[in-house]
Chains A and B, each alone.
Chain A
C-alpha cells in the first residue's frame, strides 16, 4: 500500500484504500470515481495534485490526496 505522494507520476495505479474519517472527503472522492478498485493515473503533485480517472481529470489539494492509497 502506497501513498500518492510516493508513487511514480504517469503510471496507472489501483486504489486500495481511502484513509479518511471525514464523511465529506469520502463522498467527494467516491463521486469523482476514486474508490477501492478503481484505477487512476497521477499526473502531477505541485501546485495541486492532478489525477486522471478514465477520461476525467480532477485536481485535489495535498490533504485530500493524502487519503488515497494505491497498491
Chain B
C-alpha cells in the first residue's frame, strides 16, 4: 500500500456556537478522484478550507505525502501544491485569462522594470495546450463563459504545480456539454497523477466520475466507500441517516380551501425553468432542494425582485403584473429573505421602525408627519403577540438575537396585512430553542389562514412543517410530495434528479 497523498485525521474545528468538524478523517491518493458528499452543512467545505489554510484546525493532524504538515494560511497550501477551485470563482474579470493565471508572479524584463507580456502569453498558451483548452489566453475573463472561467481557475491552480486539486461544486453552473469538457479534463489530470477532491450533490456524476467517496454528516466522518460497489440509495441513506424528527404537525392539508397564489410557467434564464404550482389558504408549502436549485430565485420572481422571462402569477385568481417588490407587497405578498441582515432589516434602526417600514403610509398624519405614537403602539402589539424578546420597541435591531430578528421581519409583513408569506430559510442562523418558536409561529399563521411558502435546506424542518412539499433541482420542479408520503430519502432522490437536456449552445 503506497502512502496517501493527503491524510487528515482527528480534525476538529469549532466556531462560536457550532462544532463544525468532529474527529474528521479524510484520505486522498494520487491519481484518484475522490468524492466528498453530505448534506448542506455537513462540513465538507469546512474540511476543505482547513486543508487549504483558509481555516486553522483546532486539533488533528494533516499528512502530506506521509509527512506531517501545518497549513496556517492559503499561501502555505499553495506552496505544498494544494489548489482549490471555489464555488464562487475567484478571478479578476477585467484581466485576461493569462494575466489571471500569473497574477502575483508575472514574468518581467529589463531588470524587473517592465512586464514581459510575450513570455506571459507564451507560458499561458503552453499551459492551455497541456490542458487542451481551445480558447485564447488573451481573452478577458469577464467575456468567457462560466465554464471557461472555471477552466482558467483550474489552470491557475495547476500552474502552482498542484498535485491536489479540490473542486467545490464545479458543475453547478455548467451545461451538459461544458460538464463533459470538465470531465475530460479531470480524467486527463487523474492520469497525470493529480489527486482530485470532488464535492458535488449530483449522484450520477459522482457515480460516473469518482473512484472513492467519503460521506460526512453533521460535521462527522461517516465512511469511505469504493464508488463502484456502492448504490446511490446507500449513499443517500448514509448522508441523511440521522434520527428523524417526530412529525408533530396536526393540521391536515385543506383540500377544499381557496387558492391564494398560483404560478404558471415561471422562467428566468437557467435559474428557474417552467415552474408551476399553487398555494392554498392556510397551507404551508415547503420547497426543498439543494443549494443552487433555484428556490430563492423562484421566490424572488414571485416577489418581483427579479423580472421573469416568462410565466404568469395569479393572486386570488387575479392575474398580476409584478413590476417590482412594491407591486408584490401591494397585493399582500411578503418575502422573508434568507439573509435577514442584508435584505430584511435595517439593523442600525429600532424595532418599531423596522416593523413599520413597509406600511409607512399608515403611520402618517394628514399633514405628512410621522405618528410615532401609533408606530410604537403597533410595534408593541407585535412584540406581544410574536413574543419578541426585546427591552423595548426602541431597541436597535442588531442587538437582538437571530430568532427575535426574524420575528421582527414577520411583524413587518403582518403589519402590512400580507396573506402570502414566503419564508426563505426561516431558521438559518437561529439557535435550536428559537427554531421551535418560529415553527410554532408558522403553524399559527397558517391556522389563521395565511398561505405560507417555506424554502428550507433542512430536510427535518421541511418534513416537520410542510403540508405539501415541492422539490426543485436545477431550476425545475422535479417532484411534489404530500406531507404524509414525504421522507428524507425521497426528497433527496428528487433533489438530485438532473434532467439531461440537449445543450443550449452558447459561446
Real complex partners, A and B? Answer: no
